Amino acid sequence: DEFVIGAHMPLTGSLARSGQAFTEGMQVAVKIFNEKSPKHKIRVEVIDDESTPAKAVTAVEKLVSNGATAIIGGYGSNIVGPASGASDKLGKVYITAGAVSDELTARGLKTFFRINNNAGYQRGVETLLQELKPQSVSIVTSTKEAPLLLAKGLEESLPKSGIKVTVHQFDPAITDFKPIINKVKLQDRSDILFMSAYENDYVGIIRAAKVLKPNVKAIVGTWSLATPKMYSDFPDLMQNVLGTSFLPFPVEVKDEEGRRFADVYKETYGKEIEYLSTLSFVKAMVLCEAIARAADAGTVKSGGLADEMRKTDRASLLGRIKFDETGDNPNFTLSMGQHQNGKIVLVSPKANATGAITYPGLPW
């Protein structure tokens, strides 16, 4: 029998970049699932939510009225919030990998699941910083929701480990970062420049840093930074830059699933897997498996899917996935990778490290 999963993704608009990567990871997951599952087949129906909440809500309603069994959410807490609310009203399971706000899980929705959260990112960055033991950190953060959340969290937690923190917020419209970096250079004189932002901002910030050469020891960022793509697009900006990552590059995945994912992905899209597609792959896989289990138990129609989701407990490329009462995945942790001559080496936490960190290490 065939099940339909509905997905709303920001294929156009400000989040289009993330939407595309998400869609790719998800498609690969479904493809792999269908290959190995003889009984149940899954089909995804994707609707562009145009990076806006109202259209995401409409998309969810349309997907459900088209017979979707469950919904895979797009990107951004602002959009996932209302969309998952709508999905809950319709009694459909909703899973996302692109919304980290704590408010989402505080709503007490029974159908809402996510595999990553702000706490995980924060932990990842904290671990690295505790290992590096800098005296001071300058945080340059976009005023967008997720980056700001992370920055605020770090601003609170890092001083507890004796690290001095200065935060510089910037409006996403800004393109010239030299004045900010100059403040880091002349006023903060920090050991580490931490960026909580998105790709276009990273490029601008690192470029400004490369021009002004502040006396920092490392440049650290978060999502979508330690990716092979960033290195191939901007080779002379990325050397030694650190960012969150799950997999080293070239991919050395130990487990079968990871290898298969990398292969199919490369085959389908002609490129290496990326941070966002990995997240999306895992969430889609988890959902597919839960659907299969519920189908076996015959409880898909009677609302058993949410229970099956809650029973999920498996290892994945992202580590262990097990949802708590609120639908969150408290085990979500990640590693920090460093660009080293076109490779991405996992350097933190120590346990996962695939190589030694270059520290101090800068792109210039």
Partner 1 sequence: MFDLILQALSSGVLIGSVYALIALGLALTFGAMRIINLAHGELVLLAAYMAYVVEARTGLNPYAAIPLALVATCVVGTAIYFLVDRIREHRELNSLILTFAVGIILTNAILLFFASDVRSTSSPVLQDAVSVGNVFAMNSEIIAFAVSLILMAILWWWLKRSWYGRAVRSVSSNRSASMLMGIDPTRTEFIAFLVASILASFAGVALYTMSVVQPAVGHALTVKAFIVTVLAGVGSIPGVFCAALLLGITEALTVTLASSALQELAGMVLFLLVLFFMPNGLFGAHARRG
Partner 2 sequence: MRLLGVAIFLAALAVPFVFGGNLYVMGLLVSSLILAGVALAWALLGNLGGMISFGHAAFFGVGAYTSALLAAKLGMPVLLSIPLGGLGAALCSLVMMPTLRLSGPYFALAILAYAQIFRILVTEMSGITGGSAGLSSIPALPTVFGIDLSSRSGSYIVLTLLVGACAAVYAAIRRSHVGTALRAMDESEDATRVVGVNSVLLKAWMLILSAFITGLFGAMNAHIINFLEPDYAFSGTWSVLPIVAGIFGGYRTILGPIVGAVLIYLFDQVIAKSLISVGHQILLGSLLAAIVLIAPNGLLPLLGRLRGDRHAQALRGGRHAQA
Could you say which of 27, 69, 77, 239 contacts partner 2 (CB under 8 A)? Answer: 77
Q: Give, in order, the Cα–Cα distances in Å from 219 to each of 75, 134, 203.
A: 26, 12, 12
Which residue from 180, 306, 345, 353 is in contact with partner 1, where contact means CB under 8 A?
Answer: 180
C-alpha closest to that of 359 among 256, 241, 261:
241
Contact call for residue 274 and partner 1 (CB under 8 A): no
Residue 174 C-beta: closest distance to partner 1, Å: 6
Which residues are CB-contacts of 34 (< 8 A; sequence separation ≥ 6)?
A: 41, 42
Find which of partner 2, partner 1, none residue 222 binds, CB within 5 to 8 Å per kind.
none
User: Which of partner 2, partner 1, none sits in contact with 324, Cβ below 5 to 8 A by type?
Assistant: none
Rule CB under 8 A: choose which of 90, 119, 167, 212 binds partner 2: 90
Residue of 65, 66, 200, 341 interacting with partner 1 (CB under 8 A)? 200
What are the Cα distances from residue 326, in Å, to 109, 279, 298? 7, 19, 24
- From the list 11-19, 85-93, 104-112, 279-287, the region that binds partner 1 by CB under 8 A is 11-19
Interface pattern 223-262 for partner 1 (x via CB under 8 A): ------x---xxxxx-------------------------
- The residue from 35, 103, 156, 176 that contacts partner 1 (CB under 8 A) is 176
Partner in contact with 187, chosen from partner 1, partner 2, none, beta carbon below 5 to 8 Å by kind: partner 1
Selected binder of partner 1 within 34, 37, 136, 169 (CB under 8 A): 169
Q: Name which of residues 169 to 188 contact partner 2 (CB under 8 A).
A: 171
Q: CB atoms < 10 A from the CB of 213, how many? A: 11
235 binds, among partner 2, partner 1, none (CB under 5 to 8 A by kind): partner 1
109 binds partner 2 (CB under 8 A): no
Q: Is 182 in the site for partner 1 (CB under 8 A)?
A: yes
Compute φ and ψ for 359, nearest 5 degrees: -150, 125
Return d(Cα 87, Cα 112) in angstroms, integer.
9
Alpha-carbon distance 230 to 276, whole Å? Answer: 13
Residue 229 interaction partner, one of partner 2, partner 1, none, beta carbon < 5-8 Å per kind:
partner 1
What is the rounded distance in angstroms from the CA atom of residue 252 to the CA atom of residue 293?
30
Subset of residues 3 to 32 that bind partner 2, contact rule: CB under 8 A: 11-12
Question: What tokens were used for 196?
Answer: 């909580």
From residue 116, give the alpha-carbon distance in Å to each of 75, 283, 299, 331.
12, 9, 27, 9
CB of 151 to partner 2, least distance (A): 11
Helix (H, G, I), strand (E, B), or coil: what is residue 20? helix
Instruction: Decide if residue 327 touches partner 2 (CB under 8 A).
Output: no
Contacts of 358 (CB under 8 A, 6+ apart): 240, 338, 340
**CA count, 13 A, side-chain hemisphere, 196:** 28
The whole-angstrom separation of Cα 189 and Cα 137 is 9
SS3 at position 23: helix
The DSSP bridge pattern shows strands 93-96 and 218-220 to be unpaired
Give the whole-angstrom CA distance, residue 137 versus residue 75.
28
Choose the contact partner of 175 out of partner 2, partner 1, none; CB within 5 to 8 A by kind.
partner 1
Nearer to partner 2, 24 or 289 (CB): 24
Which residues would be at the binding site for partner 2 (CB under 8 A)?
Answer: 11-12, 46-48, 52-55, 57-58, 61-62, 64-65, 77-78, 81-82, 85, 90, 101, 103, 107, 143-145, 148-149, 171
Which residues would be at the binding site for partner 1 (CB under 8 A)?
Answer: 12-14, 16-17, 19-20, 143, 168-171, 173-176, 178-180, 182-183, 186-187, 199-200, 203-204, 207, 210-213, 229, 233-237
